[in-house]
């Protein structure tokens, strides 16, 4: 059995969505401030965008994140990721299969997969062991208005079952705001993924620092 084990610090995973994060300039500025203040991963997720817009934004984000060594993950646009040499690709259950993404990206890029329940989580574990994916997203765990087609909220006991004896890195997503982080981290996640808790906030730096402080406290003050 192999694992890709591409290293990724999932602690504070910012998902940029143009509906909340604004146009290109505002999005790039948000990403930069978040990276400066401790965000550990940035994902671009813009299902409504045309390819040319995708490429321009992804290239701009890559440039702004590089000095902070914060990886840029592209949501469900393999061609864009290949064109601008992104750090990785994240796919959902209805997107290009993770196995195809891995085959086309090669072994040294990050591949993430969304999961919404125990069965999908167990499938993801097998994919991790086979070297296909590097981490999973688990969610939504709270109702969210950010993703209009979000899957149903996962029941608390199902989340617990997913995390029991887990072998793969997992980041939690969906409706996570300041104050909710400690509870989720205590369940055993490696980090939290957010859109609206950072994007569109009046104080991006303060919002990022606040979430990070909760994460570090939950990880034992590291």
Closest CA to 136 of 121, 147, 154: 121
Q: Is 195 annotated as a binding residue?
A: yes
How many Cβ atoms sit within 10 Å of the Cβ of residue 53?
A: 14
Which residues inside 25-84 make contact with ligand TZP, applying CB under 6 A? Answer: 45
Query: How far apart, in whole angstroms, are the C-alpha atoms of residue 191 and residue 169?
Result: 9
Of the candidate residues 27, 195, 211, 212, the single one contacting ligand TZP (CB under 6 A): 195
Alpha-helix runs per DSSP H in the chain: 18-21, 24-36, 51-65, 78-83, 98-105, 118-129, 156-163, 181-186, 204-218
C-beta closer to ligand TZP: residue 90 or 166 = 90
Of the candidate residues 62, 90, 109, 147, the single one contacting ligand TZP (CB under 6 A): 147
8 A C-beta contact, residue 128 and residue 143: no
Closest CA to 182 of 217, 138, 141: 217
- Which range, of 62-70, 122-130, 192-200, 211-219, touches ligand TZP by CB under 6 A? 192-200
Of the candidate residues 87, 144, 169, 180, the single one contacting ligand TZP (CB under 6 A): 144
Burial category of 77 from C-beta neighbours within 10 Å (exposed 0-12, middle 13-18, buried 19 and up): buried
Minimum CB–partner distance for residue 193 and ligand TZP (Å): 7
Binding-residue pattern over the window 162 to 181 for ligand TZP, x denoting contact by CB under 6 A: -----------xxxx-----
- Which range, of 105-113, 189-197, 202-210, 211-219, touches ligand TZP by CB under 6 A? 189-197
Please report, as ranges, the residues that interact with ligand TZP according to CB under 6 A: 15, 45, 139-140, 144, 146-147, 150, 173-176, 194-197
Binding site members for Mg(2+):
76, 95
């Amino acid at each position: 059995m192999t694992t890709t084990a591409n290293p990724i610090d999932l602690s504070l995973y910012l998902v940029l969505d143009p509906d909340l994060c604004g146009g290109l300039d505002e999005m790039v500025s948000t990403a930069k401030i978040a990276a400066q203040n401790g965000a550990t991963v940035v994902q671009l997720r813009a299902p409504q965008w045309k390819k040319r817009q995708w490429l321009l934004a992804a290239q701009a984000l890559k440039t702004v994140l590089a000095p902070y060594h914060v990886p840029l993950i592209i949501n469900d646009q393999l061609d864009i990721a290949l064109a601008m040499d992104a750090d990785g690709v994240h796919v959902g259950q209805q997107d290009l299969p993770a196995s195809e993404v891995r085959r086309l990206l090669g072994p040294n890029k990050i591949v993430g997969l969304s999961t919404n329940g125990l069965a999908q989580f167990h499938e993801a574990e097998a994919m991790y062991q086979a070297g296909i994916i590097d981490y999973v997203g688990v969610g939504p765990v709270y109702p969210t208005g950010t993703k209009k087609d979000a899957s149903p909220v996962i029941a608390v006991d199902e989340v617990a079952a997913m995390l029991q004896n887990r072998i793969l890195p997992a980041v939690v997503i969906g409706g996570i705001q300041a104050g909710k982080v400690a509870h989720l981290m205590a369940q055993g996640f490696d980090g939290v993924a957010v859109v609206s808790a950072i994007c569109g906030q009046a104080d991006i730096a303060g919002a990022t620092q606040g979430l990070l402080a909760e994460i570090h406290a939950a990880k034992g003050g590291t």
